[in-house]
């Protein structure tokens, strides 16, 4: 025990450590408070090791190196640029859609200055932030009115709370989906105060199932986009038009969560006719009273939850107290408005998500050949161009595979898993596919500024 106490006494105190030159240098870079926290964590680990291992002793050089590694890590942003070479366009784990340069410019300008976010310049009085995008969104979707909140889950919950609280909402068992991160539709409904009434079965729900489930307490029929799965085989579900007619006949609200936020015909972005994706405009034309959707999926904008539909219902939603808690900030609003303007002008290729979905096979093959040739001059490995399967991703069109091209790299000394690990550890991490003993770089999701980084990074790690 006395030996343990002696080894603990050999650890220098915080005041002494903070005066070391190498500590003071980093303290100026990342702040004294952060430095003290990191040092304290390192000292706690040393104390634990001394208490648990009678042979462990404090080593000043080891302590210094460990602290310096932690300082370097702490000096870098936690949220950082990542290169997506997976071929998944709307990658949920990588921030979903890239935002259009014009939208980024608008966001930057608004972030750096005051704005008319809630000020009516004509009247010289307080204004409504939603008015900045409502007319644009209505003109694109054909809706009577529109409203936006911070994300689609919030949009669904707000609509349910504002329009069906303490009332019954009927929906198919086949649409009781989990959005992600264990966030489920029944949970959202419970939080909203609406009562879920299930009808039909997992694979087959008929119009009469909805009709039988309706009672005097029913306020809404709800249809949910399947998002990230499909039920195939012996299945059936009512047409939107039939659900809309039933809702009208029973004096109910017909609401649809359309999920991905498709604003243009699927053929424009190379979605096959059997993709089951429907535009927001079509949902409304088929009779939906309220439609909700995401902004950062196929729509290709910043994260928002869009709500479009009948004015009388949108007005109720706008006035509901929860709306304020879910409202969109000025920077996001600027980016969304700029994205909608690109849609209104038909400038689809200036929206990165739409551009990547629209890429032709010939273009991707040419880019893959060009990348393979450049890599062959830099690294000693087996390199080839090959056809690959890409995906829209992000809870959109889960069953649809997109034909693409990629570059495979097979190194005689490094396995694919090991190379992937090295690529993830770079200052600008690179995520890619793999098959057998080779990594695969999908060119569909590589941006112009990515190529040089990818080539230089692979040269560095594979020639080491």
Q: What is the largest CA-CA distance in the chain?
A: 86
Helix H or strand E segment including 340 = helix 330-344
DSSP secondary structure string for all residues of 167-207: SEEEEEGGG--EEETTEEHHHHHHHHTPEEEEES-SSB--H
- For residues 221 and 301, state if they share a domain: yes
**Residue 2: which pLDDT band, with cuts at 50, 70 and 90?**
low
Asked if residue 89 lies in contact with residue 396, where contact means CB atoms within 8 angstroms, the answer is no
- For residues 207 and 252, state if they share a domain: yes
- For residues 331 and 420, state if they share a domain: no
- Split into its structural domains, the chain has a count of 3
- For residues 25 and 143, state if they share a domain: no
DSSP secondary structure string for all residues of 22-84: HHHHHHHHH-HHHHHHHHHHHHHHHHHHHHH-TT----HHHHHHHHHHHHHHHHS-SS---EE
Contacts of 53 by beta carbon, 8 Å cutoff, 6+ apart = none
pLDDT (tens digit, 9 = 90+) per residue, 364-423? Answer: 999 999 999 999 999 989 999 999 999 988 766 656 789 999 999 999 889 999 999 999
Which of 41, 75, 109 is the endpoint of a domain? Answer: 75
- For residues 330 and 228, state if they share a domain: yes
Is residue 8, in this structure, part of any structural domain at all? Answer: yes
Is residue 96, in this structure, part of any structural domain at all? Answer: no
pLDDT (tens digit, 9 = 90+) per residue, 110-120? Answer: 999 999 999 99
- For residues 314 and 210, state if they share a domain: yes
- pLDDT reading at 228 higher than 60: no
The encoded tokens of residue 96 equal 């979903």
177 versus 71: the higher-pLDDT residue is 71
Asked if residue 83 lies in contact with residue 371, where contact means CB atoms within 8 angstroms, the answer is no
- For residues 327 and 387, state if they share a domain: no
The CATH number of residue 205's host domain is 3.40.640.10
- pLDDT reading at 1 higher than 60: no
- For residues 261 and 365, state if they share a domain: no
pLDDT (tens digit, 9 = 90+) per residue, 134-143? Answer: 999 999 999 9
Is residue 256, in this structure, part of any structural domain at all? Answer: yes
What 8-state DSSP symbol labels residue 271?
A: -
Q: Output the CA torsion sign for 28, 34, 36, 38.
A: negative
- For residues 308 and 369, state if they share a domain: no
- For residues 153 and 213, state if they share a domain: yes
User: Residues 166-189: what's their mean pLDDT?
Assistant: 82
| Strand, coil or helix: 86 | coil
**Predicted TM-score (pTM) of this structure:** 0.90
- For residues 148 and 265, state if they share a domain: yes
- For residues 140 and 264, state if they share a domain: yes
**Residue 43: which pLDDT band, with cuts at 50, 70 and 90?**
very high
- In DSSP terms, 382 is beta-bridged to 410
Range of the domain at 433: 83-91+355-462
Mean pLDDT of the chain, nearest integer:
92
- pLDDT reading at 173 higher than 80: yes
- pLDDT reading at 360 higher than 90: yes
Asked if residue 120 lies in contact with residue 132, where contact means CB atoms within 8 angstroms, the answer is no
User: Residues 141-152: what's their mean pLDDT?
Assistant: 97
């Amino acid at each position: 025990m006395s030996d343990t106490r002696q080894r603990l006494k050999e650890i220098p105190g915080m005041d002494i450590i903070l005066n070391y030159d190498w500590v003071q240098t980093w303290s100026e870079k990342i702040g004294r408070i952060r430095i003290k926290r990191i040092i304290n964590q390192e000292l706690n680990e040393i104390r634990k090791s001394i208490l648990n291992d009678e042979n462990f002793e404090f080593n000043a050089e080891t302590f210094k190196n460990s602290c310096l590694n932690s300082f370097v890590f702490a000096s870098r942003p936690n949220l950082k640029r990542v290169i997506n070479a997976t071929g998944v366009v709307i990658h949920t784990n990588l921030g979903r859609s890239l935002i259009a340069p014009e939208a980024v410019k608008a966001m930057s300008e608004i972030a750096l200055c005051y704005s008319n976010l809630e000020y009516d310049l004509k009247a010289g009085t307080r204004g409504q932030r939603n008015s900045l995008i409502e007319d644009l969104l209505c003109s694109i979707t054909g809706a009577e009115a529109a409203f936006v909140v911070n994300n689609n889950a919030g949009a669904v919950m707000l609509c349910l709370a504002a329009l069906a609280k303490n009332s019954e909402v009927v929906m198919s068992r086949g649409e009781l989906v989990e959005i992600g991160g264990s966030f489920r539709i029944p949970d959202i409904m419970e939080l909203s105060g609406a009562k879920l009434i299930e009808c039909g079965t997992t694979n087959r729900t008929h119009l009469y199932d909805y009709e039988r489930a309706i009672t005097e307490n029913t306020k809404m029929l709800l249809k949910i986009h399947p998002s990230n799965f499909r039920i195939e085989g012996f299945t059936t579900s009512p047409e939107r038009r039939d659900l809309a007619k039933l809702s009208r006949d029973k004096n109910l609200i017909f609401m649809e969560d359309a999920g991905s936020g498709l604003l243009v015909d699927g053929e424009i972005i190379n979605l096959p006719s059997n993709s089951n994706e429907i535009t927001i405009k079509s949902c409304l034309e088929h009779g939906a009273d309220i439609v909700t959707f995401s902004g950062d999926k196929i729509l290709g904008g910043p994260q928002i939850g869009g709500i479009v539909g009948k004015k009388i219902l949108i007005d109720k939603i706008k006035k509901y107290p929860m709306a304020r808690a879910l409202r969109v900030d000025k920077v996001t609003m600027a980016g969304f408005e700029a994205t909608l303007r690109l849609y209104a002008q038909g400038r689809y290729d200036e929206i990165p998500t739409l551009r990547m979905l629209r890429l032709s096979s010939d273009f991707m093959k040419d880019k893959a050949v060009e990348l393979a040739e450049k890599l062959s001059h830099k690294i000693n490995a087996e390199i080839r161009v090959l056809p690959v399967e890409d995906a829209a991703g992000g809870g959109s069109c889960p069953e649809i595979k997109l034909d693409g091209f990629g570059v495979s790299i097979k190194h005689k000394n490094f396995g694919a898993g090991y190379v992937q690990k090295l690529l993830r550890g770079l200052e600008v991490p690179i995520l890619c596919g793999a098959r057998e003993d080779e990594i695969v770089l999908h060119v569909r999701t590589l941006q112009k500024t990515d190529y040089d980084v990818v080539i230089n990074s692979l040269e560095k790690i594979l020639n080491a």
